[in-house]
Structure 1
Amino acid sequence: MIMIAGVLDGLDGRIARMLHGESRFGAELDSLSDAISFGVAPALILYLWSLAALPRIGWISALVLAVFCALRLARFNAKIDETDQPHKSAGFLTGVPAPAGAGLAMLPMYFWFWTDEPIFTSPWLVALWVAFVALLMVSSVATFSWTSLRLRRTVRFEAIAAVVFLGAALVSAPWHTLSVICLGYLLTIPFSIASYARVRRLRAAGERPRAPEPTPSA
């Protein structure tokens, strides 16, 4: 259900714009839904799966994930009307978005599903990982925004084929595929940081920056 919520989260804004139904109320409702789907739900799942073995530390770690997700969404809503947003104007996001954060937080669970290794159920490992992902969500790290990616016409067929392949992989081997997606996303973060640093240098020099370089997957 969290995965379905992630897909719907990528569609609701586009549908609202197509129907000319954008509103501030919709933005607030979207953030409330995201806080539940990508903050509270993953925190409860991880707590019941592993973190309950460390009642105090595990509960704090799960709570941090839920609260930091809500804080990230609150920061996003507070800046909706601001015109000066360096990351957004350059085509980047500030921190890891909530859906990606939820997927990353459950990465140890994905590994455990297809490896059956007890190390991935270690509450200490899960607690530290969940706290790290929560910090990524509220951080000011520049991350790539998928909406800023523009595919060339010459590779659109290949892109459709890749989407079909990805869908088939998620159906046939979901935990392997989700693990690869999460690891791939983590690998893009250093590239996004370096790309945004280049944009900042160009801005400081008074030059007009180009759009962010596409991710390796694009």
Structure 2
Amino acid sequence: MKTPFPPFEPNGPNDEARGPRLREIPLRLMVPNLITVLAICAGLTGIRLAFENRFELAVTMVLVAAFLDGVDGRVARLMKASSKFGAQMDSLADIVNFGVAPALVVYVFVLDQAHTIGWIAALIYAIAAGLRLARFNVMAERENKASWQSEYFVGVPAPAGAMLVLLPVYVGFLGFEQTTAFALGSAAYTVIIAFLLVSRLPVWSGKSGSRIRRDFVLPMMLGVVVYVALLMSYTWQVMVVTVVCYLLSLPYGARLWQKKYGTYTINGPADPDVDDANDDIGRHI
């Protein structure tokens, strides 16, 4: 039976040059999308748990959503299942998991004690996350990319931003008294993280092809095991230390970028691709 709606095509409309359209979609194309859907479910469940005052589970679900979001792209590449549909789905999931969910969890936990100021801080973070993701998508679609883009992000990435903005919640789990001053400080901290998301600070991505000396491999593997073991036993203490270490590493990463690629100014990496990406975003807003 004919319908007014076109059939699902993961890579967009089909044309004759690409051959006849297949009647079935390969299962491998669905696996990454299912992982993305699970990530969205985890993020939304985290919001629900926060409103039910089950904050530890809420934070856990947000972190699980971040993990699943990082996995789906890699699974798609390993299974050769990348598609335009999956890319759009992943982008929409990011704004929920790294923008809306963390902002609402922090707001319900502590920012609501700052009343309107806390809500404004949550709004600023969620909007900054959306702008950060939009800029990333614009830069990723460019054919000619700067050499440093394979090693550095422009601004703190959205998944890291979600981990960072939850710091007041981690501290609250450790028994820190949630006073009005703490709420106002948390609001200020949330705005700072929002600024880091949309800033032009070069942030090391960890995707470079640098190699590790053989004698460092086993100690690094052992260090990862120790970190995971501590994370399982002292979750919130380790998360606080992780956030502090990440924030302290940002100036160091910017310094490395300066040494390798050029002069770094308060306006960020002096690269026309970044300026063009910002111009593209401005034209589409």
Q: Place the TM-score, normalised by the shorter chain, in its bin.
A: 0.7 to 0.9
1:34-53 matches, cutoff 5 A: 34-53=94-113
Write out the 4+ residue segments of structure 1 that deviate beyond 6 Å after TM superposition. Answer: none
Partner of 1:151, secondary structure, is coil
- Which amino acid is the alignment partner of residue 127 of structure 1? A
Change (3 A) 1:121 1:106: farther
| TM-score, reference length from structure 2 | 0.66
Partner of 2:140, secondary structure, is coil
Q: List alignment gaps of at least 5 residues for structure 1.
A: 205-218
Equivalent residue for 2:255, pick from 186, 194, 207: 194
In structure 2, the residue matched to 1:156 is 217
- Rg bigger for which structure? 2
Deviates more, 1:96-105 or 1:111-120: 111-120
Q: Distance in 2 between matches of 1:131 and 1:66?
A: 10
1:68/1:135 contact within 8 Å kept = yes
Change (3 A) 1:178 1:131: same
In structure 1, the residue matched to 2:266 is none
Q: List alignment gaps of at least 5 residues for structure 2.
A: 1-60, 264-269, 272-285
Taking every aligned residue pair, what percent have the same amino acid on both sides? Answer: 37
1:201, distance to aligned residue in structure 2 (A):
2.8
Report whether the alignment pairs 1:54 with 2:114.
yes
Q: Distance in 1 between matches of 2:229 and 2:117?
A: 38
2:62/2:97 contact within 8 Å kept = yes
- Which amino acid is the alignment partner of residue 227 of structure 2? L
Q: Distance in 2 between matches of 1:150 and 1:2?
A: 32
Report whether the alignment pairs 1:68 with 2:120.
no
Deviation sequence 1:196-216 (CA, Å, 0-9, x none): 111233999xxxxxxxxxxxx
Q: Distance in 2 between matches of 1:199 and 1:78?
A: 24
1:50, distance to aligned residue in structure 2 (A):
1.4
In structure 2, the residue matched to 1:128 is 188
Change (3 A) 1:119 1:83: farther
1:92/1:144 contact within 8 Å kept = yes
Report whether the alignment pairs 1:13 with 2:63.
no
Q: How many residues align?
A: 204
Partner of 1:146, secondary structure, is coil
CA RMSD of aligned residues (A): 2.2
1:108/1:121 contact within 8 Å kept = no
2:113/2:180 contact within 8 Å kept = no
Deviation sequence 1:114-160 (CA, Å, 0-9, x none): 14334597221011000000110111100111222543333222222
Partner of 2:262, secondary structure, is helix
Q: Distance in 1 between matches of 2:79 and 2:97?
A: 24
1:17-36 matches, cutoff 5 A: 17-36=77-96
1:106-145 matches, cutoff 5 A: 106-118=166-178, 122-145=182-205
In structure 1, the residue matched to 2:163 is 103
Report whether the alignment pairs 1:181 with 2:222.
no
Change (3 A) 1:175 1:138: same
